[in-house]
Structure 1
Amino acid sequence: MSTTYLVSYIIFAIIVLSTINYFYIKKPKFKRAIENEEPSEEQQMSVGKIMFVLLFGMFVAILNQTVLNVALPVMMTDLNVSATTGQWLLTGFMLVNGMLIPISAFLVETFGFRKLFIAAMVSFTLGSLICAVSGTFVLIMVGRVVQAIGAGILMPLGMNIFMTVFPPEKRGAAMGTMGIAMILAPALGPTLSGWIVQNFDWHIMFYGMVVFGVIDILFAIRWFKIYNQLSKPTPDILGIIYSSLGFGSLLYGFSEAGTDGWGSAKVIVSLIIGVIFLVIFTWRQLKIEKPLLDLHVFKFNIYTFTLIINSIVTMAMYGGMLLLPIYLQNIRGFTPIESGLLLLPGSLVMGFMGPIAGKIFDKHGIRVLAIVGLSITTIATYEFTKLTGQTPYKTILTFYIIRSFGMSLIMMPIMTAGMNQLPMKLISHGTALSNTIRQVAGSIGTALLVTIMTQQTTNHLDDYGHALTKTDLILSNSFNQIGQGVSAALGIPSGASDTVSTSLIYAQAAKTSTIHGINDAFLIATILAFVATVLSFFLQKPKQNSLNEELPTNESANNQRTEIEG
């Protein structure tokens, strides 16, 4: 299995690097988003290098977010902490990440692309080093927080740079290539960490992140020479506090709802606090002259509509990414590496199709892509409502690849379609809001589908419990036959064999109930995908002049220009 994994990983790495090289370094047909002049050959190569450094950093940061899921049980044992305490290594990272994304627009306008990217990578690498050398829970928790500070900045910063550097007619292919980092890294993370903890010490994961981080920082110092005009906005301290408390509480409440249930006092209080502070934050941003997060982006109808569709799709996708590993590992008995390798081909399809879907979007718009992509996703997701304890491996693999293909046609193009409507001055605010809402939607989707799976599993098990009574003549005969078989096989008295046979039957009932619960959760995911499909029929393509009507020209362009050094 290790050999299979290594071969798959090498092929995966070659595909990723070759794709980035092809689209950016070999053929970087670049044109400035603000100026209409053709760049020099030296500037073209500089753009290729900048995009390579950016994508590599984003890939490593996103990979880091998913490697811990599989390694957490081993880490908890080594650190001698409970599951509740150990879970904070994931929850704390998510909260810091979620609180930083909303203020990313302020950070971009204050520090600029180059300084912010290098600072983010330094923070991420330093946090990885702390985790790598840590031997206590407190120290590794500190490292995770420092990691999250850097990782939380990278995604909105990356989208910001892509939307600024590339003009609207080129953004689809560019954002599709950025999707390589967003899509492939989460798929590779569990497989990679499963292989590491199975064969090595978990500290190696973090040492690897340190090595990759240092390499990217060195490349960034040499190549990442992109500068944007800074507006130096006055920091809205109250806005930062309200935003952090609002989004942080909301994310925490949804993350806990999946385990503690929606009726938990902790969940209810967290959600109420989150909603209160978000209402205060929204009111403040609409009143002050220079808001931390400009909510006027919601006045752009296509941006708002695509964000709604994207949020629904994210809810279905995140839940599906969680449910299938539960089925494969807990029900079918696959190892983390085996389940990860089953999911990897679908992710490779998404990575391969990202730039292609982006080019189709640039040429034909979002509507056809969305309808076709979401229809395929809906049908493929519905097939996962029919899982059994004997569903063939090839069947699961085939439908997951089909589902991934449908997702690849919609994920990045729908995001680009909305961002294309925004004027340049609102791009940083649009990316911040888009990433924040997607993260909240992912948390909601995960909590919702896990809750449905848990509740329906309990309901199905209760139904089996009521049915498995010896007052039923057929079941009574079945019990007797099983008891006699167990008694003969184990050489134990018939009374003891009845207890064993009952335990076996209830264990099988629990397994079957879990499968039914997963199927029910996939049915909700199917409904979500179907709702998004229906909404996609109402998507419109903005008129070309609306894309540029508020772009700076002449004198104002000189104040907002993005500089690429050769």
Structure 2
Amino acid sequence: MPILISLLLSGFIGMFSETALNVALSDLMNVLQITPSTAQWLTTAYLLTLGILVPISGLLLQWFTTRQLFVAALIFSILGTFLAAISPNFEFLLTARVVQAMGTSLLLPLMFNTILVIIPAEKRGAAMGMIGLVIMVAPAIGPTIAGLLIESLSWHWIFWLSLPFLVIALLFGIVYMQNVTEVTKPKIDVLSIILSSLGFGGIVFGFSSAGEAEGWGSPKVIFSIIVGVVALLLFVIRQNTMKKPMINLRAFKYPMFVVGVAMVFICMMVILSSMLILPMYLQQGQGYTAFKAGLLLLPGGLINGLMSPIMGRLFDKYGPKWLVIPGLVIVAVTLWFFSSINAASTVAFIIVLHSALMIGVSMIFMPAQTNGINQLPMELYPDGTAIMNTLQQVAGAIGTALAVSIMTAGSKNYLKGVDNPADPANLLPAFTQGVQNAFIFGLIMSVVGLILAFFIRRVIVQHKAQAPMH
């Protein structure tokens, strides 16, 4: 339990600061005198750092003890948060975000891997449900608390608020954290690290740039994605020919792991694109303040967090199929309703739909993820968690970029069909059309997930959990 508390507390703050800043972006644009595409880099740089470092986490888990990695992760998080809290300008804040992301990129795989090793398989759903509680509630309350802090204090306080919790988690970890994995110190292959960084980094960078002001046709976007795809192909070939690969891709030989990865990927694309588009629509389309927009999204986030442990227990009892399929049906129906959102949509309508979306997501995410990793043999746990966590970051970047570009294209198409595109009266309907199109994209993704869900089977785990090593 103390190991779990220190991991969950630090994970919570890591996820909180990731989304809290999204609400502060419009405020930061005014204060720091930057454009929206420049401000977007505060999120993009964070995702990019995770995309580059998380794949290496499987290797780090074999080179350093659990304690060493936990302490290092928290020192990076504390340093990054402190630097962000005292940031005088944009460049300083961007650097602080990268340092913060270095801490999170060590912490997330460590959290998953530790739980997989110390918790027996038949209780694993409940433990992963607790992680779900942290991973989903933190981003949900992030915008609300950030909105309140921005209205009454300043954006710096988003980071000042996080700092004491990180220090408590570090002290807790120093006292209670135990080593749960063996240090085998495999040979480090520099070429694999370079190819992985270029591959995941290139794809995240390319899609993020397309989602900003660049557009899909820009040479920078096309070049980044091509470099990313080529580097990834070379990385896969290299991993499959090495005796001791950096990430063991044999994990993909297990069919339920592949289905689990696909489910998590689709889920992250849907949830992150919706969580970006919906607050944007509430603020720009409905004219709400950051705080009010955050408050409207709070019930759904809290419901999702509370549902995660319940879904974990149901998963332990009944397996994934009876959760994942109904979950995807709920998500698809909700997104279909969201695709008709307009200026006449009431607050109650938005809260109910958002809450239903979050219930659906909680039924898919954790059961599919746990079931997938359960099929892996124990020695592939670090690789399995590294693959899952890396693809979550990539899915987040791709999902948000596609949603923003679909939204922009929808708005432009609407304005092409009106007599006077410059007339302000046409701007709101054009924006609404773009938002509706972005939700239709989410609907299509959830239908693809639903088809995949019919292939999911419950995994029976043969091996036992380990006791922590001192």
**Structure 2 length-normalised TM:** 0.96
In the alignment, structure 1 residue 520 sits paired with structure 2 residue 437? yes
Aligned mates of 1:457, 1:136 — CA distance in 2: 33
**Mapped contact 1:369–1:410 kept (Cα < 8 A):** yes
State the partner residue of 2:367.
Answer: 413
The CA deviation at 1:84 is 4.3
Aligned mates of 2:353, 2:43 — CA distance in 1: 30
Residue 532 to residue 257, structure 1, CA distance change in 2 (3 Å): same
**Mapped contact 1:226–1:562 kept (Cα < 8 A):** no
Q: Secondary structure at the match of 1:386?
A: coil
Aligned mates of 1:399, 1:74 — CA distance in 2: 28
Aligned mates of 2:30, 2:430 — CA distance in 1: 30
How is 1:250-261 mapped onto 2 (pairs within 5 angstroms)? 250-259=203-212, 260-261=214-215
Aligned mates of 1:149, 1:88 — CA distance in 2: 16
In the alignment, structure 1 residue 238 sits paired with structure 2 residue 155? no
Q: Secondary structure at the match of 2:325?
A: helix
**Mapped contact 2:67–2:178 kept (Cα < 8 A):** yes
Q: For residue 305 of structure 2, what is the amino acid of its counterpart?
A: G
State the partner residue of 1:96.
Answer: 49
Q: For residue 316 of structure 1, what is the amino acid of its counterpart?
A: V
Q: Secondary structure at the match of 1:405?
A: helix
Counterpart selection for 1:344 from 298, 319, 326: 298
* Higher relative contact order, structure no. (Cα contacts within 8 Å, ≥ 6 residues apart): 2
Aligned mates of 1:293, 1:211 — CA distance in 2: 35
Q: Deviations over 1:38-84 (max 9, x none)?
A: xxxxxxxxxx1111111000000111111222223433444444544
Residue 85 to residue 456, structure 1, CA distance change in 2 (3 Å): closer
The 10-residue stretch of structure 1 (62-71 or 326-335) with the greater mean CA deviation from structure 2: 62-71
Aligned mates of 2:171, 2:310 — CA distance in 1: 31
Counterpart selection for 1:167 from 120, 130, 137: 120
**Mapped contact 2:50–2:390 kept (Cα < 8 A):** no
**Mapped contact 2:85–2:159 kept (Cα < 8 A):** yes
In the alignment, structure 1 residue 432 sits paired with structure 2 residue 386? yes
Q: For residue 535 of structure 1, what is the amino acid of its counterpart?
A: L
Aligned mates of 2:40, 2:434 — CA distance in 1: 24
Counterpart selection for 1:334 from 284, 288, 291: 288
In the alignment, structure 1 residue 296 sits paired with structure 2 residue 250? yes
Q: Secondary structure at the match of 2:288?
A: coil
Q: For residue 384 of structure 2, what is the amino acid of its counterpart?
A: G
**Mapped contact 1:126–1:210 kept (Cα < 8 A):** no
State the partner residue of 1:228.
Answer: 181
Counterpart selection for 1:192 from 123, 140, 145: 145
**Structure 1 length-normalised TM:** 0.80
State the partner residue of 1:65.
Answer: 18
In the alignment, structure 1 residue 152 sits paired with structure 2 residue 105? yes
Q: Secondary structure at the match of 1:172?
A: helix
The CA deviation at 1:141 is 2.7
Counterpart selection for 1:539 from 439, 456, 460: 456
Residue 125 to residue 303, structure 1, CA distance change in 2 (3 Å): same
State the partner residue of 1:563.
Answer: 468
Aligned mates of 1:393, 1:81 — CA distance in 2: 31
State the partner residue of 2:171.
Answer: 218
How is 1:86-485 mapped onto 2 (pairs within 5 angstroms)? 86-259=39-212, 260-465=214-419
Residue 338 to residue 81, structure 1, CA distance change in 2 (3 Å): closer
Aligned mates of 1:105, 1:130 — CA distance in 2: 28
Q: For residue 60 of structure 1, what is the amino acid of its counterpart?
A: I
Aligned mates of 1:463, 1:423 — CA distance in 2: 57
**Mapped contact 2:50–2:105 kept (Cα < 8 A):** yes
**Mapped contact 1:71–1:193 kept (Cα < 8 A):** yes
Q: Deviations over 1:458-495 (max 9, x none)?
A: 11121123xx6xxxxxxxxxxxxxxxxxxxxxxxxxxx
The CA deviation at 1:206 is 1.7
Q: For residue 464 of structure 1, what is the amino acid of its counterpart?
A: V
Aligned mates of 1:408, 1:227 — CA distance in 2: 28
Q: For residue 238 of structure 1, what is the amino acid of its counterpart?
A: L
How is 1:15-34 mapped onto 2 (pairs within 5 angstroms)? none
The CA deviation at 1:194 is 1.8
**Mapped contact 1:226–1:563 kept (Cα < 8 A):** yes
The CA deviation at 1:383 is 0.7
Residue 321 to residue 141, structure 1, CA distance change in 2 (3 Å): closer
Aligned mates of 1:356, 1:371 — CA distance in 2: 17
Q: Deviations over 1:119-172 (max 9, x none)?
A: 101111011112222323333333222111111111111111111111221111
Query: How many residues matched?
Result: 469
Q: Secondary structure at the match of 1:252?
A: helix
Q: Which runs of 5+ in 1 are unaligned?
A: 1-47, 469-501
State the partner residue of 1:16.
Answer: none
**Mapped contact 1:123–1:149 kept (Cα < 8 A):** yes
**Mapped contact 1:303–1:422 kept (Cα < 8 A):** yes
Aligned mates of 1:386, 1:74 — CA distance in 2: 29
The 10-residue stretch of structure 1 (369-378 or 192-201) with the greater mean CA deviation from structure 2: 192-201
Q: For residue 333 of structure 1, what is the amino acid of its counterpart?
A: G
State the partner residue of 1:484.
Answer: none
Aligned mates of 1:190, 1:380 — CA distance in 2: 22
Aligned mates of 1:266, 1:101 — CA distance in 2: 24
Q: For residue 417 of structure 1, what is the amino acid of its counterpart?
A: N
Aligned mates of 2:156, 2:441 — CA distance in 1: 38
The CA deviation at 1:564 is 5.3
Aligned mates of 1:249, 1:507 — CA distance in 2: 38
Aligned mates of 1:176, 1:221 — CA distance in 2: 25
The 10-residue stretch of structure 1 (204-213 or 95-104) with the greater mean CA deviation from structure 2: 204-213
Q: Deviations over 1:257-311 (max 9, x none)?
A: 1122211111101101111111111111111111111111000011001211221
Q: For residue 197 of structure 2, what is the amino acid of its counterpart?
A: S
**Mapped contact 1:156–1:435 kept (Cα < 8 A):** yes
**Mapped contact 1:229–1:562 kept (Cα < 8 A):** no
State the partner residue of 1:530.
Answer: 447
Q: Secondary structure at the match of 1:515?
A: helix
Give % identity: 39
**Mapped contact 1:175–1:412 kept (Cα < 8 A):** yes
Larger Rg: 1
State the partner residue of 1:42.
Answer: none
Aligned mates of 2:302, 2:34 — CA distance in 1: 36
Q: Secondary structure at the match of 1:291?
A: coil
**Mapped contact 1:457–1:517 kept (Cα < 8 A):** yes
**Mapped contact 2:117–2:180 kept (Cα < 8 A):** no
**Mapped contact 2:47–2:393 kept (Cα < 8 A):** no
